[in-house]
Chain A
C-alpha cells in the first residue's frame, strides 16, 4: 500500500451532462510505467487530465470521486501545487517559442515566480537535460531558442521542463504521435531511464509502444476502465473479451 503513488477512487469526469469517465478505480505504484490505451473517445485523456486537475480548466468540465496523490486527494490541494508535483507532456512538443532552451527548462520556476539563484538554475538545467537525454546535444547551444531543435529534441526538452520541477509523477498524452520513428525510439528509451526516479503514465494509441514501454497497461472503453493488468499478460492473454477485440483489431 505504501508503494502506491496515485490512486483513483470512484473517479468520474463530465463535460456538462456527458459522463466521460465512469467510476474508475485504479492504484499505481511508484516507479511504474503505466500505459493507458483505448479507442478515441474512451476517456483515457480525460482521465489523465483529471489526475493533475487539468480537466477542470475546460468550461463545463466537472469531476467526482477522488484522485489520491501520496494519500492526499488532489482536489483538496492547491491546483498549482498539484501540477508542479504531477508534470505533463503533451502530444505536440510545445516549448515556449520566445524562450531559450535554458529558459524553457526552468520555465516552471520563472512562470511561478520561484526565486532560484543562477548557480542553482545551472544545476537544474544540466540535471534536467541530462535526465531527458538531451544535455550532450544542446549543452553548447543552451541560449538558442527551443524551437531551433528537431521535433524529437523539442519533446525531450518538454520532458526536461517537466522534470525540472522535480515532480513525483509525469503524465504523457500521446507523447510520440507527432514524432518520427527515430525520435520515438529515443523518447521510449528515455521512459526506461526515467522510471528509476519517476512514475510515468502514458496515454498512447500505439499498442506496440504500450507493449514496449510499460509495466502495466490500463484499457479504457466507453469511459470505463475495462482491464488493468501486467502488460505481458494483457498482450498475451487479456482477461476481458473487449480488451482482446481491441488489441487484435477486431473492434467493430
Chain B
C-alpha cells in the first residue's frame, strides 16, 4: 500500500471506532432511560468526551493528509466525506449524551406506557438500526444499503410529525406526568435529528463511492425530503 492508502485506511478505522462508540452511547442512553439507570446515564455523559476526542483526532488526521499527500479523486472524496461523517457522528454523540442528561435530571422514571404510546421506543430502535446500517454501508462501500436509509428515515419523520398529538394524549391522561411527557417529546425531536444525521452520512457514503451528490435533491429522486 502507498503511504496515502495507509493514511486513508487509518482514518477509516478511526471513523469506524468512533461509529461503534456512538452506537454504544445511543444504546446506553436508551437503556438508561428504559431502566431509569442514572449510573449508566452518567457513564454516557463521561464517555461523551471520548466521542469529542475522536472528532478532534479525525479532523486533525484529515487535515494532515490534505497537507502532506494532496489527495485527489476517490481519496479526496473519501476525506471530504470523512470530515462530514465525523461531524455528523459527533452530533449523534451529543444527542445520546443529552438524552442521558434527561435521565440524570429526571426526578421520576419514564412511564413505560407513555414511551410505548408515543412510539418513542420504536423510534429509538429504528434510529439505532439506521445508524448501524450506515456503518455497514460505509465499511462495505454499499451504496444500495446507503440509499435504503433515506426511506427508513421517513419512519422516524412520521413518528416525529405525530409526536405533539401523542404526547398531548399522555398529558391529558395524567397531568402529573407533564415533565416526563415533555422529556419524551424532546427525545423524539432528538431522535428525528439522528435520522437526519444518518441520512447525511448516507449521502456522504454515496458521494465518496460513486461521486454523486444527492444533497438537496427533491424527495422524488432520493426518497427523502430536502433538509439542512
* A interface residue numbers (CB < 8 A to B): 207-208, 211, 235-238, 244, 247-250
B223 at the interface (CB under 8 A from A): no
**Contacting residues, chain B, for A211 (C-beta < 8 A):** 72
A236 near B70 with CB under 8 A, answer no
- Total chain B interface residues with beta-carbon distance under 8 A: 12
B2 near A237 with CB under 8 A, answer no
A237 near B4 with CB under 8 A, answer no
B2 near A236 with CB under 8 A, answer no
State the Cβ distance, A51 to closest chain B Cβ, in Å.
27
**Contacting residues, chain B, for A244 (C-beta < 8 A):** 73-74
Report the Cα distance A157→B89, complex, angstroms.
55
Report which of A236, A247, A248 forms a contact with B211, defined as CB distance below 8 A. Answer: A236
Report the Cα distance A207→B77, complex, angstroms.
17
Report the Cα distance A237→B71, complex, angstroms.
12
B5 at the interface (CB under 8 A from A): yes
B73 near A236 with CB under 8 A, answer yes
Report the Cα distance A235→B72, complex, angstroms.
5
Given A236-B211, A237-B211, A248–B77 Cβ distance below 8 Å? no
B76 at the interface (CB under 8 A from A): yes
A249 near B211 with CB under 8 A, answer no
* B interface residue numbers (CB < 8 A to A): 2, 4-5, 70-77, 211
B5 near A236 with CB under 8 A, answer no
**Contacting residues, chain B, for A235 (C-beta < 8 A):** 72-73, 76
Report which of B5, B70, B77 forms a contact with A237, defined as CB distance below 8 A. Answer: B77
Report the Cα distance A250→B5, complex, angstroms.
9
A248 near B70 with CB under 8 A, answer no
Given A250-B2, A250-B5, A238–B73 Cβ distance below 8 Å? yes
Among A207, A208, A211, A236, the most chain B Cβ lie within 10 Å of the Cβ of A236
- Ordered by A's residue number, 27 sampled pairs between the chains whose C-beta atoms are within 8 Å are A207-B70, A207-B72, A208-B70, A211-B72, A235-B72, A235-B73, A236-B72, A236-B73, A236-B76, A236-B77, A236-B211, A237-B73, A237-B77, A237-B211, A238-B73, A244-B73, A244-B74, A247-B72, A248-B4, A248-B71, A248-B72, A248-B73, A248-B74, A248-B75, A249-B2, A249-B4, A250-B2
B212's closest neighbor in chain A, by CB? A237
Q: Which 3 A-B pairs have the closest CB atoms?
A: A237-B211, A235-B72, A249-B2
Report the Cα distance A211→B73, complex, angstroms.
12
**Contacting residues, chain A, for B74 (C-beta < 8 A):** 244, 248
Report the Cα distance A250→B71, complex, angstroms.
12
**Contacting residues, chain B, for A248 (C-beta < 8 A):** 4, 71-75
**Contacting residues, chain B, for A250 (C-beta < 8 A):** 2, 5
**Contacting residues, chain B, for A238 (C-beta < 8 A):** 73
**Contacting residues, chain B, for A207 (C-beta < 8 A):** 70, 72
Report the Cα distance A247→B74, complex, angstroms.
10
Report the Cα distance A238→B75, complex, angstroms.
12
